[in-house]
Amino acid sequence: MVLLQESCANSGRAVAFSSADQPNPTEPLVIVVNRSNPVDELSFDELRRIFLGNRSHWPNGRRITLVMREPGEPERKTVLRDVCGMNEDQFKNHFVHGLFTGEILVSPKILASPVGVRKFVFNVPGAIGYLRGVDVDDSVKVVRIDELLPDDKGYKLRTQIQVAN
C-alpha cells in the first residue's frame, strides 16, 4: 500500500479512496473528443445519452462515433457502471435492441488499447472516448463534465488505479 501511495504521488494524479474502511485508490477517467469538435463541455446526463447511443449527432452535424475499450477493462466497467448504469450484458442487449429497432445508428467501436482509442479519436472528427489521465495528449481534446475538469474536486467519473504487475 505504501508503494502504491508513492507511485500515485509521483505521478501527480489525484487519488481518492472510495471508503475509509477499505481504501480503494482511483483516478479520474477523462472523456476525450476530436480536436475539431466544437463541444468543450457536456453534462453528465448528455454523456449518458451519448454512451447509450441515444444521441447520434454533435451540434455541428457530425455523427457521433462512440469508442469503447474491450469488455473486462476497468475503464469500460467504470463507464458502464457510472455513466450507463448497466452491466456488460445489459449494455450489449441495449445496443442490439437499439440497432435492431433503428433507435441507435452505429454500434460502439472497440479498441484494444488506450493508444488505439486516442488515435481513433484523433482520426475521426465525431469520435468520443475515454482515457486515463496518463494516456491523454495534445492529439485529443478533454471535455468538461458538469463544468468540471478531471483534476477538479467533485469530478464524478473515476476509475480504479491500475497496479503494475
Partner 1 sequence: MPLVDQWLSAASRHNAVLLLFVVCCGVTVIGALVIRDMQQANTEAQKMYKSSVNGLQEIGELQYDAQETRRTTLYALTTTDSNLQVEYADQTREADRRVRSGIAEYGRQAKGSQELALADRLNRDWTAYLGVRDEVLASILEGSTSEAVSLDLKGGVPAFEKVRQDLNEVKRLFGEDASREQASLAESSRRSSSRMVGILSFTFLLSTAAVWAIQRSQMLGRMQLANLQMEFVASVSHELRTPLAVIRSAADNIADGLVKNMDALHRYGVILQHQSRSMGELVDQILLFASTEDRNKRVSLQPLAVEQIVESVLSDTEVLVRDAGFTLDLEVDPALPHALGDLSGITQCLRNLVGNAVKYGGADRRILLRAFASASRDSSRGELQISITDRGIGIDSSEIVHIFDPFYRSPRVHASQIHGTGLGLALAKRIAESMGGSLTVISQLSAGSTFTLHLQISKGEDLQTVANEERQSRMSLT
Binding site for partner 1 (CB under 8 A): 63, 65, 67, 106, 109-113, 116, 119-120, 123-127
Residue with Cβ nearer partner 1 (80 or 111) = 111
Handedness of CA 112, 125, 137, 87 (dihedral sign): negative
Residue with Cβ nearer partner 1 (91 or 155) = 91
Cα(48)–Cα(131) distance, integer angstroms: 16
Residue with Cβ nearer partner 1 (82 or 135) = 135
Q: Minimal distance in Å, beta carbon 111 to partner 1?
A: 6
Residue pair 73/91 in contact by the 8 Å Cβ criterion: no
Q: Minimal distance in Å, beta carbon 119 to partner 1?
A: 5
Residue with Cβ nearer partner 1 (11 or 113) = 113
Handedness of CA 79, 47, 124, 26 (dihedral sign): negative
Cα(101)–Cα(85) distance, integer angstroms: 21
Residue pair 58/120 in contact by the 8 Å Cβ criterion: no
Q: Minimal distance in Å, beta carbon 149 to partner 1?
A: 26
Q: Minimal distance in Å, beta carbon 155 to partner 1?
A: 28
